[in-house]
Chains A and B, each alone.
Chain A
């Protein structure tokens, strides 16, 4: 009976109900795009760290886990290597650089990352070879760099760095291609740490400290389950360091948390607006149907039938809206130019869809409560 009443009313008033579904569709589109944008921006920011084959990251102390402020010398690397329970350590150094082309192609800004070959941080390749030695002028490029620059294994690339006040150019050989590993919104190129130290942008006067400096040390544990205990042990064994797991390290990437919380807030508020809009709509509709619902109850329909009918209508309208919105979003996404940082990941979309499917019933709760309270006596103009 409930299904019959719900579907008949929707069908006979399909224009009106479609409008409600379209409102939900627009909310769906907005929420999905914000979710995809949040995902895309997050990925562009954290991808290198996220994919890092390491359990812990070590920073210089008192730098608030900011990689670019942190300076760790090779002495620290050696000290860490001696701590029991650590499988491997790998220095990581971050800066930016520009790939330039002799044939007039647009230069490409990239994240220039220094690693120690074969140690944590040295990425797996999807094509080609790894970095041959600590001093070889090899470079591994990530997929976005390869796509943007049209470079292949064996090609020579020129990178430009500002050192002092001069533009310096360095020639490197592409030995391998790794999967997508963006860092701080830029595609990445990975070189041996000593090469990185030569080719990175540098101020005119260096400190005079001759040891090889990295920003962060990636640590792989013998037993990854002992992250907490090992963090404490490392902090006790090596002075002047601060240790973070990958999730904490990502949260401390400059701007990452602020950006994600802004986008998440937008998403939550859009959903709340959806709840209120739908709640208002269904409530107005129920208020318009007081006499009709009273009559339906008077002729023998119980509260359960009325409530289920109301809930079914809300669910159907929401499902249609989310369906239209989801399909529309996918079509729009296909038409978007490349380079816009949106990523529709399965989990994010699933959470957004689940939240969207909840806003209808949540918004409709008030109207269902209202419908339940309608007295069948209203059918004969009385009130209890």
Chain B
């Protein structure tokens, strides 16, 4: 395992002076290659702001973010755009696909962006879509695809250019439970197979069953990080950190407190 993504005391303030709001407060974390992490927490906890900074869409007010050894906070806008195209794969909760491009063209877009649309790139794009069960839908436009199919196209697009980090924003927002499970499981499988680092922001704790690590945020801080498989399963099943905590004396929870140690005693039920 080697570290692909690392943040160091990252803080993000919105506004200035006495009216400023701390969205993310001195967060330090690291994610290894082949690791799929869920970033969870209630609305306003700072997870989307954190995602924006990890995606090189937003600069931190202070602190540093390293992806593949490069410090994002030092980059100018144009460099960040190029970096996003090369090193980061995205799926968003809505408006994922370019409406006037077919499924295959949407996936190939990332290769075109990186000037990798050669024979092998095209084959890789097609292969990914076939792998995701979209063999019959390659030339369909997004409006001819179901919500689940669109999400699968977005997954293929997020992975086709072999990014270092794959960021998944609320992947289940527009899907029914069964499709949501399928989408996140597919993501998890591909991230592990392709040895990428994946971060999923979700408020749906049921989806954590497919991740290797759960990072819980509250009021801009990381309140705990859960890595034990059994406890992650319980969290996914009950959607309750409290239940996960009480799941077995012989196997204590591995919570790492960065701040607010009292929060553990509270039944932290993320916004579901």
- Interface: B95 (CB within 8 A): yes
- Interface: B247 (CB within 8 A): no
Query: Among A9, A301, A302, A379, which residue has its beta carbon within 8 angstroms of that of B100?
Result: A9
Closest to A379 in B: B92
B51 close to A380 (CB less than 8 A): yes
- Interface: A1 (CB within 8 A): yes
- Interface: B94 (CB within 8 A): yes
CA distance A299 to B106 in the complex (A): 11
Residues of A within 8 A of B83 (CB): 300
A295 close to B95 (CB less than 8 A): yes
CA distance A382 to B110 in the complex (A): 23
A379 close to B95 (CB less than 8 A): yes
Closest to B92 in A: A379
B100 close to A381 (CB less than 8 A): no
Residues of A within 8 A of B58 (CB): 377, 382, 384
Contact with B along A1-44 (1 / 0, CB 8 A): 10011001101110000000000000000000000000000000
B48 close to A381 (CB less than 8 A): yes
- Interface: A297 (CB within 8 A): yes
Query: Among B81, B88, B95, B141, which residue has its beta carbon within 8 angstroms of that of A301?
Result: B81
Residues of A within 8 A of B51 (CB): 380
B92 close to A298 (CB less than 8 A): yes
Closest to A375 in B: B57
- Interface: B86 (CB within 8 A): yes
CA distance A291 to B51 in the complex (A): 18
Query: Among A291, A302, A381, which residue has its beta carbon within 8 angstroms of that of B78?
Result: A302
- Interface: B248 (CB within 8 A): no
- Interface: B84 (CB within 8 A): yes
CA distance A164 to B157 in the complex (A): 94
Residues of A within 8 A of B84 (CB): 298-300, 376
B57 close to A12 (CB less than 8 A): no
- Interface: B90 (CB within 8 A): yes
Q: Which of A190-219 contact B (CB under 8 A)?
A: none
Query: Among B48, B92, B96, B100, which residue has its beta carbon within 8 angstroms of that of A13?
Result: B100
A382 close to B113 (CB less than 8 A): no
- Interface: B82 (CB within 8 A): yes
A380 close to B113 (CB less than 8 A): no
Residues of B within 8 A of A301 (CB): 81, 85, 113
Residues of A within 8 A of B109 (CB): 299
B101 close to A379 (CB less than 8 A): no
Contact with B along A272-301 (1 / 0, CB 8 A): 000000000000000000011011111111
Query: Among A294, A300, A379, which residue has its beta carbon within 8 angstroms of that of B81?
Result: A300
- Interface: B93 (CB within 8 A): yes
Q: Which of B110-158 contact A (CB under 8 A)?
A: 110, 112-114, 141, 157
B85 close to A292 (CB less than 8 A): no
Query: Among B49, B88, B92, which residue has its beta carbon within 8 angstroms of that of A295?
Result: B92
B81 close to A297 (CB less than 8 A): yes
Residues of A within 8 A of B98 (CB): 5, 292, 295-296
- Interface: B55 (CB within 8 A): yes
Query: Among B48, B82, B94, B95, which residue has its beta carbon within 8 angstroms of that of A300?
Result: B82
B85 close to A382 (CB less than 8 A): no
CA distance A300 to B165 in the complex (A): 14
Residues of A within 8 A of B99 (CB): 292
CA distance A376 to B94 in the complex (A): 14
Most chain-A Cβ atoms within 10 A of its Cβ — which of B99, B100, B110? B100
- Interface: B52 (CB within 8 A): yes
A376 close to B100 (CB less than 8 A): no
A299 close to B52 (CB less than 8 A): no
CA distance A190 to B157 in the complex (A): 80
CA distance A294 to B90 in the complex (A): 13
9 closest pairs, A vs B, by CB? A300-B85, A12-B100, A291-B95, A302-B81, A300-B84, A9-B100, A380-B169, A376-B57, A377-B57
Sample of 12 further A-B pairs with CB below 8 A, known A298-B92, A303-B77, A377-B52: A12-B101, A12-B141, A292-B95, A294-B95, A295-B98, A299-B85, A300-B84, A300-B88, A301-B85, A379-B90, A379-B95, A384-B58
Q: Which residues of B contact A (CB under 8 A)?
A: 48-49, 51-52, 55, 57-58, 77-78, 81-86, 88, 90, 92-96, 98-101, 105, 109-110, 112-114, 141, 157, 169
22 pairs of residues in contact across A and B, judged by CB atoms under 8 Å: A1-B112, A12-B100, A295-B92, A298-B55, A299-B84, A299-B109, A299-B110, A299-B157, A300-B81, A300-B83, A300-B110, A300-B114, A302-B77, A302-B81, A302-B82, A303-B78, A303-B81, A376-B57, A380-B48, A380-B55, A380-B169, A381-B93
